[in-house]
Amino acid sequence: MVDGHLRGRWNNGPVQSESRVLMVIADSSRSGGPEHVLTLAQELTAAGWLALVACPTGQLVDRCRAAGLAAVPMQMGGRGWASAPIQLRQLARSWRPTVVHSHGLRAGALLRRARPRAPQVHTHHLDGWFTASPWRVALHRSELRALGRSAQLQIAVSNSVAQFLTDQVGADSRRLRVVPNGIQPLPIRERSAALGRRVGVLARLTPSKGVDIAILALTTPAGKSLTLNIGGTGPELAALVDLAYTAGVASRVNFVGEVTDREQFFASCDLAWVPSRAEPFGLTACEAMSSGLPVVASRVGGLSEILDPPRAGLVVGAANPAALASVSSGLLDDQPRYAALSAAGPDRVRRRFSAARMGALTRGVYGEVMGPR
């Protein structure tokens, strides 16, 4: 199961390490879950762990290998639903991890069915769950509960996710830990005042991210002077382009496509918006704040936990274009408040949402399930 490249790498010297984690995720895009796995794998490696990522073929595999991390591609959708548990079981037997760590419902279910000998930790990212229909929640509630029984400990990426799991799924709070997502902070760009009225939204283009709300905000009286840069790709791209034209704001909306240089994207903006209808955490808010770019976001999910409004960012009601534009326009005109938020953002991210803190807390969870060594 382990290809020749990995076999050579892991069967020399380093394979004797007592701290090895097999990380499994059924998504290889540039969205929040894979970004989390890549960052965590880097932090664990820096702390002396051996990390192996199992995921579908795609960007995550390429990015792991570019970062010097080991990754095993395998099909996890379609026919992979039957084959992946067998492959994961074989991989666990040959690589002998001391802990296995699944990310997201599909990966958790696959790893549960693989029945590895090592203790299992599962992280709930719940992207899309807060906007899921009651039917979908009911359909998968049994799988979430089964996963709760198979994983020795579960991790929620925010208090909001933890509350959802206990209230809606019936998760045992005694076996649930909150470990906020963490990022590698971007270089700080001092902003004492807004240089223009350029707003940026960086997100996967799906309904839950509320990019349509950002476009409609430009049609409101307070949004008439704003321009909007939209970074990201996704299934809603065509609909969003059409919306910009039908709303009469296409000349002020710039679709920049997939963003690989986030520092440059945020440097081109005077303000960041995170207009999500639902958000388990909100990595984009952390990234913008870390660079010193003020953020206005929806009051949903984990966003308020990140922004700590009004100290490090501002929030408005979800799906309210007029409020989003009004609060943002007022902030751009208020130089002292703008400068204060610009200064507060990097400090809050470095204290609460750094990759190093996430790695340390996760290693603490691993220690709990591994027991005395």
Find the CATH number of the domain harbouring 125.
Answer: 3.40.50.2000
Q: What is the pLDDT of residue 9?
A: 41
Say how many CA atoms lie within 13 Å of 117 toward its Cβ.
9
Do 156 and 19 have their domain in common? yes
In angstroms, rounded to a whole number, what is the distance separating the alpha carbons of residues 101 and 24?
6
With respect to residue 188, please indicate whether it lies within any of the assigned structural domains. no
Whether residues 344 and 362 share a domain: the answer is no
43 lies in some domain: yes
Q: Is 187 domain-assigned?
A: no
For the chain, what is the radius of gyration of the CA atoms? 21
Instruction: Please report the pLDDT score of residue 2 as a whole number.
Output: 44
Domain for residue 211, yes or no? Answer: yes
pLDDT of residue 373: 60
What per-residue confidence (pLDDT) applies to 369? 96
Assign 3-class secondary structure to the chain: CCCHHHHHHHCCHHHHCCCEEEEEECCCCCCHHHHHHHHHHHHHHHCCCEEEEEECCCHHHHHHHHCCCEEEECCCCCCHHHHHHHHHHHHHHHHCCCEEEEECHHHHHHHHHHCCCCCEEEEECCCCHHHCCHHHHHHHHHHHHHHHHHCCEEEECCHHHHHHHHHHHCCCHHHEEECCCCECCCCCCCCCCCCCCEEEEECCCCHHHCHHHHHHHCCCHHHCCCEEEEECCCCCHHHHHHHHHHCCCHHHEEEEECCCCHHHHHHCCCEEEECCCCCCCCHHHHHHHHCCCCEEEECCCCHHHHHCCCCCCEEECCCCHHHHHHHHHHHHHCHHHHHHHHHHHHHHHHHHCEHHHHHHHHHHHHHHHHCCC
- The answer to whether residue 100 is domain-embedded is yes
pLDDT tens string, the chain, 373 residues long: the values are: 444 334 334 333 343 457 999 999 999 998 889 999 999 999 999 999 999 999 999 999 999 999 999 999 999 999 889 999 999 999 999 999 999 999 998 999 999 999 999 999 999 988 655 555 677 667 777 888 888 889 999 999 999 999 989 998 889 999 999 999 999 999 999 899 999 999 999 999 999 999 999 999 999 999 999 999 999 999 999 999 999 999 999 999 999 999 999 999 999 999 999 999 999 999 999 999 999 999 999 999 999 999 999 999 999 999 999 999 999 999 999 999 999 999 999 999 999 999 999 999 999 999 999 977 6
**How many domains is the chain built from?**
2
Q: Is residue 189 in a domain?
A: no
Whether residue 135 lies inside any domain: the answer is yes
The pTM of this model reads 0.90
One domain for residues 341 and 262:
yes
Closest C-alpha to 352, from 296, 281, 295, 293: 281
Q: Per the domain annotation, does 206 fall within a domain?
A: yes
> In the prediction, which pLDDT does 127 show?
63
Residues 215 and 145 reside in one and the same domain: no
Domain carrying residue 107: 4-182+354-370
Give the pLDDT score at 126. 80
Q: Are residues 259 and 172 in the same domain?
A: no
Are 26 and 166 within one domain? yes
- Is residue 336 domain-shared with residue 361, that is, in the same domain? no
| Judgement on whether residues 267 and 204 belong to the same structural domain of the protein | yes
Is 243 in the same domain as 359?
Answer: no
| Residue given tokens 């492959």 in the structure block | 87
Per-residue model confidence (pLDDT) at position 5: 39
- Are 241 and 309 found together in one domain? yes
Tokens of 176: 């649930």
Are 14 and 158 contained in the same domain?
yes
Give me the pLDDT at residue 129, please: 56
Q: Are residues 213 and 347 in the same domain?
A: yes
